[in-house]
Structure 1
């Protein structure tokens, strides 16, 4: 079984969820046989459930016969609190930041041991960016991920430090070095990466706080860190604005 780490349960719901869980960043299009294999289901069972998921709109069958995630799941995802709350409140500040820098801007939260990208505004500069809205990337190789990891619980930090895959030649894979970078992020209030997630791309990120709690991170992707001070200042102004909106929304 290539996709999931656990065998789906006996209920129809668990099997349908296993089929949906077979899709990920590297598997956006799946044929029926591969879909069944990744979900740990017999092909006839997968065929029946997939037909129901297609009829409901959770999956869509492409012209070549492969299955892709359907629009209805996206519509549901937009109703999640992390989207409707944080994303809507942060949107004006992301646009201000984008207008001031014309660079790719990211809004992200921690999801377990990964960073989940909640929103993204694409910049004009030809800088390679691998993130998309809804994608999950390693925390140790992204600016927003390092910020969130610096403020994460000890068990999350331990789990991430125990598995630091190399994504580019510049990815930090030494636990001691990453610990020092995280300590610096706590001290300075921002984190950076330099071609650690994709070659030709650097990033700067700062935390978004709701009162004392770090609830998200705001980052920017640029070709070089030579304007770091200006970028950090712009990010911090935007992050403080989002934080104020979060506090205001929580007391209403």
Structure 2
């Protein structure tokens, strides 16, 4: 494990990547959408030129071959290689997506080339487990990892946690991503250098020792997620209120949005 390396899978605008770089870490960033990749490369040009940042314009996929990527025209951060995920987004939220062909690459080969990072951040809309399962092929694991926790089903959520447990992760946090803009960087820093940083909406936010809240055991985080799934079932796009006549309009009027969470794990 390279203690100075972070791999950011799903760079998008580059806000998380920029945070890691400013804290002094070396970063391998992965972004599938060609236009978003170019925008992030331009934003972080000085880090690319210095060698602190390596950007890969690939989609993490099951095979090293071209793959269909569904670019969301309304919510660019919802781009995905998952046909089921894009159908769900377009049906539930009325968004539009177009198909483009991008370079696909197995995450195992990326780890083999660049090494196992200190922190692995994964946010690739329904395909996060491709990266997690790739870690099974390596003797060492990242000290910290974060993935966007599934909303698909309760068994799917338990599968994610079980996989992390099998890889050796023993401590967990469920971090509310809707509140990332409220996160404050601790001073003195617990990871890398201290920098005052304002996270944009959609960022993954603080990581490792700096993530908010207490570390939980597997049973404790499962209990936390039971409450979270109850919230989904009431206020979510498929929840009780949304299924009522004018229910979705009521939620919009009250500015009640379905939350989403990242699971952070530590060895």
TM-score by length of 1: 0.32
More helix by share: 1
Higher relative contact order (CA 8 A, sep 6+): 2
The two structures have a TM-score, normalised by structure 2, of 0.31
